[in-house]
Amino acid sequence: MAKKLIVAALSLVVLLALVMLTVTEGWLAAHEGPGTITELRVPEEIVTDRVAEQAAAISAIGENASKQILFGDLHVHTTLSFDAFLGSLPMMNGEGTHPLADACDFARYCSALDFWSINDHAEALTPRRWKETIASIQQCNAVGGNGPTPDTVAFLGWEWTQVGSLPENHYGHKNVIFLETDADKVPTRPIHSGGMARMALQGLSAKRSLQLVALDPNKRMLEFARYLQELRQTKECEPGLSERDMPADCGEGATTPDQLFAKLNDWGFESMVIPHGTTWGYYTPPGSTWDKQLAGDLYNPDQQFLLEIFSGHGNSEQYRDFRGAEFNADGQPVCPEPSANYLPSCYRAGQIIEERCLLTGAEKDDCAHRAANARQDYTNLSLAGHLAVSGESTADWLDAGQCRDCYLPSFNYRPGGSAQYITAITNFDDPANPRRFRFGFMASSDNHRARPGTGYKEFFRRGMADPTGPAGPKGARAFLVAQGEPLPYSEAVDVGRALMSSVTIDLIKTDSPTRKIDVPPLLLTEAERQASFFTTGGLIAVHSQSRQREDIWQAMQAKEVYATSGDRILLWFDLLNAPGGNTVVMGGDVQMDNAPQFEVRAMGAFEQLPGCPDYSINNLTPEKLEYVCRGECYNPSDTRKIISRIEVVRILPQATPGEDVRKLIQDPWKTLDCEANQLGCTVTFSDEEYAGLARDAVYYVRAIEEPGMTVNADQLRCEYDENGNCIKVNPCYADWRTDPNDDCLGTSEERAWSSPIFVDWKKTEPGQQTTSLN
């Protein structure tokens, strides 16, 4: 009998081991492939009509332009990206798989884009997935046609997703895009960022996969286990080898931008690198700025010349004089004081703890001490600061950490990465050759559901924007850190390897009790609160000689591009009196010693009709039209929105070390009202101060449309007191707490941002001095 029990027990152990192995190895699920593209292009006459329609608009506004304006999205993810796959799970309110085929079909039939690119996170792209990506992009282009009027042009690329634990080692996210799509004209493998992003994926072990499947057993979860196992099987390339000497089946990393640039140069293929999310505090450490990226080989204007200033993750344009953390003389992070338009999250942590403490009847001095501890405990934790406040909720934080007077700002705004700050700073390491950025401005969606160009209509927040949250308690247990009880004191949380492993400074210690958390960094940031900040995203517009790939690429290289918040606004911005009687277009530069004169022409986007055009209905199956497009497509009427005004921003880049950036960014420098006219708006202006300032100047414009409704425009939906302070929030959650049919619409003014025109001061006398604004 005993022998039979032992045999039975051993058999059970073996069976359980086989089940565990079967699940964690992904044997019960299929490989997540690229899907099947609909092999019907948009009818040629439809594309030709689009070109003719725009030509008529150009003529109507009086613009003498030989180039077309084409709209695209150069920031798109499919469920090959880890965070996108995670968001596709049933327990995360997911829709299921959205592969590359969906992205191609969406760009062609739903959003009617002229061009787009694929940018799945390199950290999760295995060699097999990269090969399938190349093949799928080639197929998408083959369907569109290789003649003079392709219906949509698909570019190949990936996202380099770097995250640092401190400002000193944080460089941020950058999209890498290639001109060519042939396998022998692009790198054999994508280049990931290593570091924290890679660690987040490695932290999801086979054991974790088994736990997730057990928590919510279903087909999609088994596919997720297979997806993770394929990633774990990919070994890292041997360091030190040249690109072509590495085997094709390894994973290659570059931990800093200069390493990324060097590896791309080693390959020698034509590419561009586009930074994005530069103010997004979800992953950017408090106190971060872009100054260090002007130094040494981190600066590479030949490859990095466009900047994504707006996406579905918010606006990164505007500079404000606040920081989420400051640093003392010893380089230690400390919590700054609040200002009129900004409440630091670390400071709010102190308020929360002080309020709780006073409710217990403790002495005021004791509660004030606990508040000071809470401010420092929060600051010490960087991106995970909210965990210092046990039992915290989204409502507790009010609008702490947010830019209160910015247009649709990104979450936990970091102004040291704003486009205006980046444009204003100068590096004087070599006084004879000072460095500064001369970025062209563009926008895209950063959609994680294979939907390029989602901003054509404001609907379906959970699919056209990017909120991801648990569908119920099971998802919350799997993907949220347990917060515990609301204690009347903060905790000095030890997050171990998850976030602060590369800290190189001594933090200011407090006498708070400690708590240890050891989970992947993905689970430590403020995922719940940021859901209120996701919009349907923006677009890049290019002034191109034709619809063909090479001309689109050339327009981007020339920075003859602009950004929109999603509406297809037509915009021209020209300097009229360049030397020799020439005209300088947006993105260009010129040397002058007299007052520059400018002209702006803008025309609003078409109002949209409900539903989809006939070609979309006829070429997509009803099931795909609903699943991919959600039954709504870009479907323009004959009526255009009104441009209400043109705003001009002038930036005077630092001419001497230490110049106060606040005085150099003049926003708006001029506001020019427009008449309500379907035919658009034309304005001119000049800078009569330029010659007197005798220094370089940068100008760009915003074309602002009449107010309309936008997903998440009100973000946290604050209630305010008589002094304008946020006293209560009504967040737009990604989880079960907000009705899935609530698109959280609010009023906003859609807009377009031109690329700057860079006007450099031409010295007319030897030794002529520049005017300092200090």
Longest dimension (CA), the chain: 106
DSSP 385-399: GGGGSTT--GGGGTT
CA 774 centroid distance within chain: 34
Q: Which long-range contacts (CB under 8 A, 24 or more apart) does 629-634 make?
A: 629/106, 629/109, 629/110, 630/459, 630/460, 630/463, 630/464, 632/110, 632/457, 632/459, 632/460, 633/109, 633/110, 633/111, 633/112, 633/456, 634/110, 634/111, 634/112, 634/453, 634/456, 634/457, 634/608
Nearest to 495, CA basis, from 471, 514, 472: 514
Give every CB contact of residue 147 below 8 A, 6+ residues apart in sequence.
Answer: none
Of 15-24, 327-336, 445-454, which gets the smallest average pLDDT?
15-24
CB count within 10 Å of CB 266 equals 12
**What's the whole-number mean pLDDT along residues 314-324?**
97
Three-point CA angle 454, 458, 460, nearest 5°? 80
The number of C-alpha atoms within 13 Å of 38 and in the hemisphere containing its C-beta is 24
Residues 533-567: pLDDT tens digits?
A: 999 999 999 999 999 999 999 999 999 999 999 99
Amino acid 115: pLDDT: 98
Q: Is the pLDDT of residue 712 over 70?
A: yes
> Residue 8 — very low, low, confident or very high, per pLDDT cuts 50/70/90?
low
Of 19-23, 218-222, 246-250, which gets the smallest average pLDDT?
19-23
Amino acid 340: pLDDT: 86
Give every CB contact of residue 88 below 8 A, 6+ residues apart in sequence.
Answer: 79, 94, 95, 96, 97, 98, 220, 449
Greater pLDDT, 760 or 23: 760
Answer yes or no: are the C-beta atoms of 574 and 65 closer than 8 Å: no
Cis peptide before 90 (omega within 30 of 0): no
Give every CB contact of residue 63 below 8 A, 6+ residues apart in sequence.
Answer: 572, 601
Number of H helices, E strands in the chain: 20, 32
Amino acid 216: pLDDT: 77
The CA–CA distances, whole Å, from 87 to 205, 219, 293, 469, 537 equal: 18, 15, 32, 8, 18
Amino acid 498: pLDDT: 47
Nearest to 87, CA basis, from 102, 74, 77: 77
Nearest to 433, CA basis, from 282, 629, 301: 301
3-state secondary structure of 313: coil
Residues 180-238: pLDDT tens digits?
A: 999 999 999 999 998 655 655 655 556 666 667 777 789 999 999 999 889 888 888 99
Q: Beta strands 726-728 and 643-651: pairing type? A: unpaired
The number of C-alpha atoms within 13 Å of 45 and in the hemisphere containing its C-beta is 2
Give every CB contact of residue 660 below 8 A, 6+ residues apart in sequence.
Answer: 773, 774
The pTM of this model reads 0.94
What percent of the residues of the chain are helix, what percent strand, and what percent coil, each to the nearest 5? 35, 20, 45
Report the b/e string of 62-84 with b at 16+ CB within 10 A. ebebebbbbbbbbbbbbbbbbbb
Answer yes or no: are the C-beta atoms of 549 and 557 closer than 8 Å: no
Question: How large a percentage of the chain has pLDDT more than 90?
Answer: 77
Answer yes or no: are the C-beta atoms of 731 and 394 closer than 8 Å: yes
Amino acid 27: pLDDT: 62
Amino acid 26: pLDDT: 58
The continuous run of DSSP H or E covering 252 comes out as strand 252-253
> Residue 763 — very low, low, confident or very high, per pLDDT cuts 50/70/90?
confident
DSSP 582-641: EEEETT-EEEESS--EEEEEEEPPEEEPSS--HHHHHHS-HHHHHHHHTT----EEEEEP
287 in the Ramachandran plot: left (φ > 0), alpha (ψ -120 to 50) or beta? Answer: left
Phi, psi angles (nearest 5°) of residue 386: -60, -20
Phi, psi angles (nearest 5°) of residue 393: -130, 165
State the residue for tokens 């286990």.
225
Q: How far apart are the first and last CA of the chain?
A: 92
Question: Rounded distance, CA 459 to CA 479, Å?
Answer: 27
Q: Beta strands 326-327 and 333-334: pairing type? A: antiparallel
Question: Rounded distance, CA 666 to CA 687, Å?
Answer: 13
How high does pLDDT run on average in the chain?
A: 91
Of 102-116, 217-231, 509-523, 742-756, which gets the smallest average pLDDT?
509-523
Question: Rounded distance, CA 133 to CA 122, Å?
Answer: 12
Q: And the tokens for 711?
A: 């997903």
**What's the whole-number mean pLDDT along residues 466-485?**
71
Q: And the tokens for 82?
A: 């880890």
Nearest to 198, CA basis, from 123, 283, 284: 123
3-state secondary structure of 136: helix
DSSP 417: G
Answer yes or no: are the C-beta atoms of 72 and 539 closer than 8 Å: yes
Nearest to 703, CA basis, from 558, 532, 505, 563: 563
DSSP 359-380: HTT--HHHHHHHHHHHHHHHHH
